[in-house]
Amino acid sequence: MATVIVNNKPVEIGAERLNCIQAADRAGVEIPHYCWHPDLSVVASCRMCLVEVGDKKPDGSVAMQPKLVPGCQTPVKDGTVIISDSPKVKAAQQATLEYLLLNHPLDCPVCDQAGECGLQDYSYEYGRGYSRLQEPKNIKPDKDYIGDQITLFTDRCIMCTRCVRFTREVSGTAELQVSSRGSHEEIDIFPGEPCNNKLAGNVVDLCPVGALCSKDFLYEQRVWWLKSKKSVCPDCSTGCSINVDQNNDTVYRLKPRYNPKAQGSFMCDEGRFGWKYIHAENRLSLPAKREGASTVSTDWDVVLASVREAFQAAAKSAPKKVAAIFSPWMTVEEAYILASWLKGLSPDITLAMTPARVSGEDDTYPKDVHGKPVQPVKFTIRAEKAPNRTGVEAVLKHFQGDVIPSGKVLEGNAYDTLFVVGGDPNPEVNAATASKLGLLKTLVVLDLLDTALTKKAHYVLAGGSFAERDGSFVNHSGLVQAINRSLQGPLEARPDGRILSELAGRGAMFTAAKLRAEIAQAIPAFGSLGGGKLGEYGVVMGLAVKLEPVTA
Amino acid sequence: MPIANKDVTWVEEPEIGFWEATFLPAIFAGLKTTVRHVTHFQPVTEQFPEEKPTLPLHYRGVHRLNRDDQGRVKCVACMMCATACPARCITIEGAQAPWEDRDKYPSSFVIDELRCIYCGMCEEACPVDAIEMTHLYDLTGFSREEMIFDKEKLLGVFDQTKDSGRDPVRTQRGRLGPASDFEGLPALAPATSVRGDDRSARSVTAGVIQGTAVMESSWEQINEKIEKK
């Protein structure tokens, strides 16, 4: 076992290959850094992570290197000694920050990064507190158009080149570059080649200062007002871990959350900016019970009671003519409640599932100059545009043995009572199917947007978007991750889990973790969920004993 | 624990003398005060609203939004005031400034004057001296809507009060104020303590090195050394 000594504290690192920053992190010591990022190559250019490094000899003596070395570039081995709190290191940190701040404008009041800014944090923690510069600062003009979603405040840049390395190494598209030299260095694009690749939004997250800003979020909110909840991006089956940042029940941005089991550190722009439907005009905000063209009631109690009665009556009289169409946008918990309720009413009720929307082929990054994918793959945008096909299918397989595609239910006239779950913001329901379904005896639609189908439905249940629901999604590789309710839906809209829970007579208290524990007991495929706690990175689906690590 | 006897001091009531027992000296002393109010009459009642009071200079009345030297709203929409406000009565919407020389400005700035508790935290928080409290105190209105002041109304308060004499424009600092104005202004005192051996600590204004004298003398010394060699 390799042991590294960080600030006189021994820490075991096992057989891992770490640098000084990572080893110190294991010991709970922060070594400040700007240019280093775990998923990018090492350039050691910001000089913020300078530390004293030495070697502990077998005889117990310690030989320190005479110069400070960059922690990001220095691998550790058994007996490496790292000192990050000596006066020499502190002086170096102060001097580095003073240099980084020479030309940095003090426009924190108007800067979007203020509050989550690396320069602010480190200046406070390691800086000298005031400037000795007498000369005017070197102010470079802002570049408003770096990409469709990105703007560059050139004067705020500290030249860590994370963004340049990201476009070269992860997206592979290499739009960004450094032009000029020395104090005149600037991040720039090649003329006529804006940074518009599908991962471009990540350079904003990577920027440790407020130089690269997202046009979508620019000046919308101060970051200290945002409340974050851990969630999962629902826009493809990769299931990127994200944080939903909201204030006053309005989502302002999604940010990727590091998850080595799911996607790594990044997310694609489709997911990053794909949440706008949460606040769309055509969001369903009230439930409805309709008779003919007129709405009879928009009271949840009335609507839910009528739906329950309609299904109970239909299950008694002709269960073979009752069906439910599940959606790959449901959480595992929701699918479980609905399936167990309907199968409890009558085992003859058919449970079908809308196939996950597929668009094109899996899009892998990095790309080469011709746009061809390159190995090894560092990021994948999957063609399957639904978050939880695997999870819903596993539930259906448990209750019914196999998964019936929704097409079989929609064809012909075998069914007269139908429960359709939506959730897809871009559903593929054509008007013909919708008007045909409108002729059924009972059509219940649980969805979040007003669609052709909800217009024809006899009962409309106004559900919630992924940001308004508790539950769990299973991604393409079987990783079960939790999503958390971070905001309230419009008006009377309720999270799907609560609607289904009330409908199934389980009461209005819907607790996802408790339900997961129940599912783990009931369905062997979810046995690994155990007590229902999924942790930060999620749990791989499988039998209770089988717990295998999954690589991204 | 009961109090010990040795800790108790018994005080006897003083004996009343003859004149004191008549109460006459006390009555005359009281009458003297009464008469004094007649002979030395000083009115303290303020004839409001016919006569307006002169308020202390630090009085915190209705807010105003200051204008910069070009007549534009000085606020940069940093939302420090809205963050500092304990009554949550300030609502600002930031947007890209329509001017070349500024990044951000408030597209909407609304203060609910009814909800405000006039604590002055907003003007204390403002990094660009854009929001200030004036001496206007007799704020009235016929509806609640009237008391919700928008940007135009707050700028109107500035136009109305800037020449009144009681609410002078307190600072003429640059477009972003002390936060970014590094040309032609003395630097502010350092945010953290300064070590004694720091060159800047010895200067007139902490944070600025008035270093020329030191530098010149040291250059002279160096030149002398070179010449000697």
Q: Identify the CATH number of the domain in which residue A397 sits.
A: 3.40.50.740
Q: Give a yes or no: residue B217 inside a domain.
A: no
Q: What is the mean pLDDT of residues A51-68?
A: 93
Q: Give a yes or no: residue A459 inside a domain.
A: yes
Type and span of the H or E element at A243: strand A241-247
> Which residues lie below 8 Å from residue A339, measured CB to CB, with a gap of 6+?
A324, A326, A351, A395, A396, A398, A399, A400
**In terms of Cα–Cα distance, which of A203, A245, A201 is closest to A224?**
A245
Q: Give a yes or no: residue B147 inside a domain.
A: yes
> Which residues lie below 8 Å from residue B34, measured CB to CB, with a gap of 6+?
none
Q: Give a yes or no: residue B185 inside a domain.
A: no
- In the structure, what pLDDT confidence band is assigned to residue B206 with cuts at 50, 70 and 90? very low
Q: What percent of chain A shows pLDDT beyond 70?
A: 98
d(CA A459, CA A454): 8
CATH of the domain at A22: 3.10.20.740
Quote the DSSP letter at residue A367: B
Q: Give a yes or no: residue B21 inside a domain.
A: no
- The Cα of A20 is separated from the nearest Cα of chain B by a number of Å equal to 30
Q: What percent of chain B shows pLDDT beyond 70?
A: 74
User: What range does the domain containing A73 cover?
Assistant: 2-98
What pLDDT score does B216 carry?
Answer: 46
d(CA A247, CA A229): 11
Q: What percent of chain A shows pLDDT beyond 90?
A: 77
Quote the DSSP letter at residue A100: H
Paired tokens of B103: 């990044």
pTM for the full predicted model: 0.83
Q: Do A225 and B192 touch (CB under 8 A)?
A: no
What pLDDT score does A428 carry?
Answer: 81
Residue of B nearest to A137 (CA): B182
Q: For chain B, how many structural domains are there in total?
A: 1
What pLDDT score does A545 carry?
Answer: 52
CA–chain centroid gap for A465, Å, is 14
**Dihedral over Cα of A37, A138, A108, A212: its sign:** negative
For the stretch B51-72, what's the b/e string if a residue is b when 16 or more beta carbons lie within 10 angstroms of its beta carbon?
eeeeeeeebbbbbbbbbbeeeb
Per-residue pLDDT of A169-181, as tens digits, reads 999 999 999 998 8
Q: Give a yes or no: residue A337 inside a domain.
A: yes
Q: Give a yes or no: residue B164 inside a domain.
A: yes
d(CA A232, CA A243): 8
What pLDDT score does A29 carry?
Answer: 95
Per-residue pLDDT of A7-24, as tens digits, reads 999 999 989 999 999 999
Residue A341 burial class via C-beta count within 10 angstroms: exposed 0-12, middle 13-18, buried 19 and up: buried
**Which residue among B83, B191, B209 sits closest to A222, beta carbon to beta carbon?**
B83
What pLDDT score does B180 carry?
Answer: 41
Q: Do B180 and A107 touch (CB under 8 A)?
A: yes
Question: Between A282 and B192, whose confidence is greater?
Answer: A282
d(CA B42, CA B51): 17
What pLDDT score does A432 carry?
Answer: 79
What pLDDT score does B115 carry?
Answer: 95
Q: Within an 8 Å CB–CB cutoff, is residue B205 touching chain A? A: no
Residues of A in contact with B128 (CB under 8 A): 109
* pLDDT of B183 over the 70 cut: no
Q: Give a yes or no: residue B124 inside a domain.
A: yes
Q: What is the mean pLDDT of residues A101-105?
A: 88
Instruction: Let me know: does A453 contact A434? Beta carbons within 8 Å.
Output: yes
Q: Give a yes or no: residue A23 inside a domain.
A: yes
Residues of A in contact with B76 (CB under 8 A): 109-110
* pLDDT of B198 over the 90 cut: no
Alpha-helix runs per DSSP H in A346-411:
389-400, 406-410
What pLDDT score does A206 carry?
Answer: 96
**In terms of Cα–Cα distance, which of A477, A495, A489 is closest to A541?**
A477
Per-residue pLDDT of A473-511, as tens digits, reads 999 999 999 999 999 999 999 999 999 999 999 988 999
* pLDDT of B184 over the 60 cut: no
Question: What is the ipTM, given to two decimal places?
Answer: 0.83
**How many CA within 13 A on the CB side of residue A429?**
30
Q: Which of A98, A122, A144 is the last residue of a domain?
A: A98
Q: Give a yes or no: residue B78 inside a domain.
A: yes
CA–chain centroid gap for A181, Å, is 37
- The Cα of A127 is separated from the nearest Cα of chain B by a number of Å equal to 10
**Which residue among A110, A114, A137 sits closest to B103, beta carbon to beta carbon?**
A110
Q: Give a yes or no: residue A312 inside a domain.
A: yes
- The Cα of A108 is separated from the nearest Cα of chain B by a number of Å equal to 8
A97: helix, coil or strand?
helix
Q: Give a yes or no: residue A240 inside a domain.
A: no
Please report where in the chains the tokens 């389980």 appear, as a residue: A506
**In terms of Cα–Cα distance, which of B103, B120, B194, B154 is closest to A114?**
B103
Q: What is the mean pLDDT of residues B195-203?
A: 51
CA–chain centroid gap for B21, Å, is 57
What pLDDT score does A172 carry?
Answer: 92
What pLDDT score does A137 carry?
Answer: 80
Instruction: Let me know: does A143 contact A151? Beta carbons within 8 Å.
Output: yes
Per-residue pLDDT of A513-526, as tens digits, reads 999 999 999 999 99
CATH of the domain at B67: 3.30.70.3270
* pLDDT of B56 over the 90 cut: no
* Neighbour tally for B171: CB within 10 Å: 13
Mutation target to probe the B interface, by most B beta carbons within 10 A, among A101, A113, A132 is: A132
Mutation target to probe the A interface, by most A beta carbons within 10 A, among B182, B195, B198, B205 is: B182
Q: For chain A, how many structural domains are there in total?
A: 2
**In terms of Cα–Cα distance, which of A155, A141, A207, A209 is closest to A183?**
A155
Q: Which of A49, A64, A98 is the last residue of a domain?
A: A98
Q: Give a yes or no: residue A200 inside a domain.
A: no
Q: Give a yes or no: residue A550 inside a domain.
A: no
Range A375-382 contact pairs with CB under 8 angstroms and sequence separation of 24 or more = A378/A39, A378/A169, A378/A170, A378/A264, A379/A170, A379/A171, A379/A199, A379/A263, A379/A264, A379/A266, A379/A268, A380/A238, A380/A263, A381/A198, A381/A236, A381/A238, A381/A268, A381/A270, A382/A236, A382/A237, A382/A238, A382/A476
Residues in B 82-141 with any Cβ partner in A closer than 8 A:
83, 94-96, 102-104, 127-128
* pLDDT of A440 over the 80 cut: yes
Q: What is the mean pLDDT of chain A?
A: 91
* pLDDT of A551 over the 70 cut: no
User: What range does the domain containing B115 cover?
Assistant: 63-174
> Which residues lie below 8 Å from residue A73, measured CB to CB, with a gap of 6+?
A19, A42, A44
Q: What is the mean pLDDT of residues B121-146?
A: 90
Q: How far is CA A121 from CA A73, A78, A95, B178, B201, in A?
A: 23, 32, 16, 21, 24
Instruction: Let me know: does B61 contact B152? Beta carbons within 8 Å.
Output: no
Mutation target to probe the B interface, by most B beta carbons within 10 A, among A110, A126, A142 is: A110
Per-residue pLDDT of A313-355, as tens digits, reads 999 999 999 999 999 999 999 999 999 999 999 999 999 999 9
Please report where in the chains the tokens 């160096």 appear, as a residue: B222
What pLDDT score does B181 carry?
Answer: 45
What pLDDT score does B199 carry?
Answer: 52
Q: Give a yes or no: residue B214 inside a domain.
A: no
**How many CA within 13 A on the CB side of residue A336?**
23
d(CA B136, CA B153): 14
d(CA A331, CA B52): 68
What pLDDT score does B223 carry?
Answer: 63
Residue of A nearest to B106 (CA): A219
What pLDDT score does A84 carry?
Answer: 95
Please report where in the chains the tokens 């000369």 appear, as a residue: A135
